Chain A
């Protein structure tokens, strides 16, 4: 599903955020990406989303060299990836329902289909009863669940998450990770960047460890 081939990323010619990253993730796999802040986790995810382009090497997603995508193809590429952000990136001027509906509205689905799929996604994250609420009325954990619902409402083949449990207490973090495992179970490829080592150790999945822009460990689940 994802293949990094000797990928390097420099910013501003000097600072090397990633160097010689080489790994593969199979379809349907669930992978954690760990490392200290500044180790390059976010840069790596941004490369997959094609928000950045590699300075060296190739990033392949679903068999395509995504560096070769034409700018006009980018929106359609991004629609196949669900992304969960640490700060959830919800829009505060509209209800939970409309936040989750956004990817489907962009794809131009009929309102009836949108309603059905939004409710299924909200039901999945346990927030169906809050669909009319505004994001500001929700707790941090609930906002994160809305972010997850929005990421999966499109039924993406690939789900990326950047520190999805960053600001949450351990119980809520475990709940959120449980959701990701559910998606992994139904065949979605999941990649989660997190520095919550204790939680990751408990979940027993493959873990890629980054340090100062290098891939220092690739540990299969014990």
Chain B
């Protein structure tokens, strides 16, 4: 014991003089502050800032990897919170496609007076096409109507027994603006035209579908906000524990002059990593889920004679999901650290 101390005692004075020498040289080199040196200093600070960011980015990832189970559970919780609103958003996106098709197929049907002559029909058609709200017209003569009717009902014999064709000629009109209000106004105006017996449009089901779509949109938004808050809470709670675990370290670095930004940085990176990990897991779950559902959805659609493909995230969707999850993780960490740093005072 005593031998060790005497050895150290001997080492001390030598070291002291060495430190004093380097100290003196340093002071002399930093005292004149020319413009050039200011630039060098600013550059050095910028480099130091970058260096610390890089170091903390790697360090926080290393801490995550060191506790794989805990980190994975946190990320899984984030992923589950992200999957539901993302799936809803996806299905809504495909509903938008259906909506667009609806708009394209929104038409009015004008039934003409019974027994109008062919020349009169031509005149009415011209008058209809002259309207600025009318994009296109398609004439269905009484004979065509009868043929379609027979085909769709399979009542050839019964209808053949009728003395005369009971169906009027009809014009299918595609409006330029397919909004319900514009179509209602157009239908009113057209029914006042001479030679037009009646204008039919089935707005109710279009309206219903639109409202359903609106409901879906709002539901997705509400769920998105709620589950986004969920992600913030999950990350916030994890970071709160991390801050608590490193309390001593935070106290010490604060004592020796660390800024809040310096203390906060590793935790912000941890939050961002959690968010990114959760986002990647959510992406994986969504891909798996849509693969799993693809076959039954396709056969269900086929049974309705429709072709429907489950929507996928695509490049833009995937980037959005990962960016949002990373930002949410970062934000959750920021809130947690800011709240808890205020409570940590060096003793």
A residues lining the B interface (CB < 8 Å) = 49, 51, 72, 75-79, 83, 89, 91, 93, 102-103, 105-111, 116-117, 120-121, 123-126, 128, 150, 154-155, 171-172, 175, 178-179, 182, 186
Inter-chain pairs besides A91-B252, A172-B5, 13 sampled, C-beta below 8 Å: A77-B257, A78-B256, A83-B255, A106-B253, A108-B48, A111-B51, A117-B22, A121-B19, A123-B11, A123-B15, A124-B18, A126-B11, A178-B12
Contact between chains at A106 and B16 (CB < 8 Å): no
Q: What does DSSP make chain B's interface, helix, strand, loop or mixed?
A: helix
Contact between chains at B256 and A79 (CB < 8 Å): yes
Task: Report Cα–Cα, A45/B249, bound state, in Å.
Answer: 21
CB A180 to nearest CB in B, in angstroms, measures 11
**B194 interfacial by beta-carbon distance below 8 Å:** no
Q: What does DSSP make chain A's interface, helix, strand, loop or mixed?
A: helix
Q: CB < 8 Å: which of A79, A89, A125, A182 contacts B257?
A: A79
Contact between chains at A175 and B18 (CB < 8 Å): no
**B39 interfacial by beta-carbon distance below 8 Å:** no
Contact between chains at A175 and B22 (CB < 8 Å): no
Per-position contact with A for B43-61: 1 when CB-CB < 8 Å, else 0?
Answer: 0110111011000000000
Contact between chains at A155 and B23 (CB < 8 Å): yes
Interface hub of A78, A79, A126, A172 (most chain B Cβ within 10 A): A126
CB B100 to nearest CB in A, in angstroms, measures 54
CB A52 to nearest CB in B, in angstroms, measures 10
CB B53 to nearest CB in A, in angstroms, measures 11
Task: Report Cα–Cα, A125/B19, bound state, in Å.
Answer: 10
Q: List 14 A-B contacts (CB under 8 A).
A: A91-B252, A102-B252, A102-B256, A109-B48, A110-B48, A116-B22, A123-B11, A123-B18, A125-B12, A126-B12, A155-B23, A172-B5, A186-B23, A186-B24
Q: CB < 8 Å: which of A75, A78, A107, A120 contacts B18?
A: A120
Contact between chains at A175 and B257 (CB < 8 Å): no
Interface hub of A106, A109, A175 (most chain B Cβ within 10 A): A106
A93 CB contacts on chain B under 8 angstroms: 249
Contact between chains at B257 and A106 (CB < 8 Å): yes
Task: Report Cα–Cα, A106/B11, bound state, in Å.
Answer: 29
Per-position contact with A for B246-276: 1 when CB-CB < 8 Å, else 0?
Answer: 0011011111111100100000000000000
Task: Report Cα–Cα, A89/B345, bound state, in Å.
Answer: 14
**B20 interfacial by beta-carbon distance below 8 Å:** yes
Q: Are A110 and B47 also in contact (CB < 8 A) when A83-B255, A126-B11 are?
A: yes
Q: Are A108 and B12 also in contact (CB < 8 A) when A78-B257, A91-B249 are?
A: no
Contact between chains at A78 and B255 (CB < 8 Å): yes
Task: Report Cα–Cα, A124/B12, bound state, in Å.
Answer: 6
Contact between chains at A106 and B262 (CB < 8 Å): yes
User: From residue 17 to 39 of chain B, which have CB atoms closer than 8 A to chain A?
Assistant: 18-20, 22-24, 26-27
CB B284 to nearest CB in A, in angstroms, measures 33
- Please give me the residue from chain B that is nearest to A82 by CB atom: B256
Task: Report Cα–Cα, A126/B9, bound state, in Å.
Answer: 8
